[in-house]
Chains A and B, each alone.
Chain A
Amino acid sequence: MKKRVVAVLTAAVMAFSMAACNSGSAGSTTGGSTGGSTGGSTGGSESAAPAASSGELIKVGIINNDPNESGYRTANDKDLQNMFTTANGYDAKFAYSLKNDEQIQAAQGFITDEVDYLLLSAADTAGWDGVLKDAQAAGVKVTLFDRTIDADPSLYEASIVSDMAKEGQTAVDWLAGQGLSEYNVIHIQGVMGSAAQQGRSGALDAKVAAESNWTIVQQQTAEWNAEKAQQIVQSVIDSNTPFNVIYAENDDMAKGAVAALDSAGISHGVGKDVIVMGFDCNKWALEELLNQNWNYDGQCNPFQASYIDNIIKTLESGGTLDKKTIIMDEKGFDAATITQEDVDNYGI
């Protein structure tokens, strides 16, 4: 009897919380999507309209990683969802997986469905030759976005990627431009071996090796995890080693680092003791910049939809692409110059 009462109660609470979920979500999704789409797709939607009026929809199959993977991926998916709509002249199908073999299966499905374009953000770099040859044989044009693969470039039309090394270089150049007499850096790395970690670490490592007044106080991986970053910074504070820069390879880890600074009473931000740098341009991170709590945030542009749209347009109109690999524009934001508009446009 007692068990039953508990069960009913818990079920009721669950139901209540679900209801709360639904009532609240509508507002936030729309808010998020407008924020996401302004970045790249506004221009595209206008230019796509004529295609829709001609009545012939372009069939696209989009294979992406799971949007739950990260904030980056969520923004990326929203951007694509907003671009490839019937209103813009597209008949788009989406498939999500973090597993390469499932993605390949999905690709095969799309080819069977006779899509015109296959858009692919591969989970793994290897194993795509076979399915891409099938696509080529079936006349399906392939465009890679966000991630490259190990396959013959003739198998795809274009690849739209971020250059992580460039992101790192932009950030390090910015830091060098701050003109400190000494750079004592706490370097918090992402998951070792990931493309983002390698690119963003590489620029800093090179600079430290080259300059005599640049020192790395602590270099440690926090595996993209805020709490681990907090602990790492805490350990440096506990050991009384002086430092004046925190170079965190994503926003979460920068946030963790700042939490450690706060509890130790160390000031940070514009004109304060410690310079805080992050990456990915999460909206909340850009707001920290706006509030002068952090100093720099490097963009990792998730808004590839407009680029892809342009490519498809060019190909449909019979044009050719001038280059295969398209590197996206990526900004670095400085707390001294960031505006509310930047936050709204580039925050993910």
Chain B
Amino acid sequence: MEENRVLEMRGIEKSFPGVRALRGVDFSLNKGEIHALMGENGAGKSTLIKVLTGVYTKDGGRISMQGAEDIHINSPQDAQNAGISTVYQEITLCPNLTVAENMYIGRGKSRITKWKKMNEDADKILRSLDIPASASQQLASCSIAVQQMVAIARAVDMDCKVLILDEPTSSLDEQEVEKLFKLMRDLKSKGVGIIFVTHFLDQVYEVCDRITVLRDGGLVGEYAIADLPRVELVAKMLGKEMDDLSDIKGANAAYCGEDADDIVLEAEGLQSDAGIKPFNFHIKKGEVNGFTGLLGSGRSECVRAIFGADRILQGSVKMHKKEVKIKKPLDAMKNGIAYLPEDRKIDGIIGELSVRDNIILALQVLTGFFKPFSKAKAQAFAEEYIKKLNIKTASADTPIASLSGGNQQKVILARWLLMHPEYLILDEPTRGIDVGTKVDIQKLVLELASQGMSVTFISSETDEMIRTCSRLVVMRDRKIVGELSGDEVNQGRIMETIAGGEAKK
């Protein structure tokens, strides 16, 4: 086994200001092996990859190849020279050049000038890897999958011993994925060690030999694929240990008005252009539900469809049993739906505007273009919510961009609460904020629900959802695969449902 080893990483350390991104991570790769690197977002996968490819310089630890002495990778060029090649999720080639040009660009010294030879060489490689493209074809005219393969061919031709595929399948359809897997198996038989980063569990179990799981910058373990059932993989990725926060769900009485059974919103066959399968969904008054599933499973896309944030392709939405048309966010807002988006920076804050303007924005838009709030009124609104949500800001005039992440999130939350919505959608409200604020937000959600507000709560942290949600919609591969409620809402069932395939076996 040892002589088979192509790459060995030991005790890799990497810190960024305020974050220890990698803490003593070990990783090893054998010749002719496809090795999955798994972990939730922020687990340290991409940091590890970037250390290996020379994008980041490691703070500590050792890297060696083929059992030889330690090597030092300080730049992507070093990595290339050592035989490590990477194909990223986004195509990083030039679409306006030919396939051959893309394969040889920025490499040899004299090769690029001999066009004829370059094309012949490229064709040879493409044929040997069974890639359906010709050397003189413009890259843009190839499908995404073929472009991906060309990128791989480029990597392989550079005498690579280690090939890193960083989420290569996320923009491919099923047939294209099959083609890619075939190519991966070919390379494997040629002795290339492949590191495969993905969040599609099915794919891991289809092509991989071993799995390394990371969580919170640390190594969880390395497993042979046969020894690790899906449920356990999910458990290892999410981290089973429950933190010792009390079960706050019990602290707030559920809403029990006489209209408690009133269905606030009901969607049927809803589909947006963001690539999710049509889905049905409903929520009752005072209910807290959640969408769960791995990243990329389509949970954000579902709530965005409900809010009208993406273009709606089909489906109907009823509120209180009455059909409503929600084509754009303003329609949803008029119907009392509020949506705190997943990406705070891109979709949430209006950076240079003051905290006050950020708080009043949604209600102001709802009130109307010709009815601006007086300065005093806006100030009063802002101050009310700064106090209520305990937002730490110098004043209501401070630009929101200068606040910390958690406080920015509270401002966005205040924006939607000020609207007094009937149905509040929170997409990852706790991402990237400190533990104290996380608990505050969870408590707030339950409090709002007990007052009769319906809330959808999405979080990558399952324990948060278990603590807050009474019903969970489980998603996999962009469709709803199950619904859990009551006692079913527990780690075991959630992971089982997310993993899916296991249940069938």
Direct A–B contact in complex, judged by CB atoms less than 8 Å apart: no
**A residues neighboring B (CB under 8 Å):** none
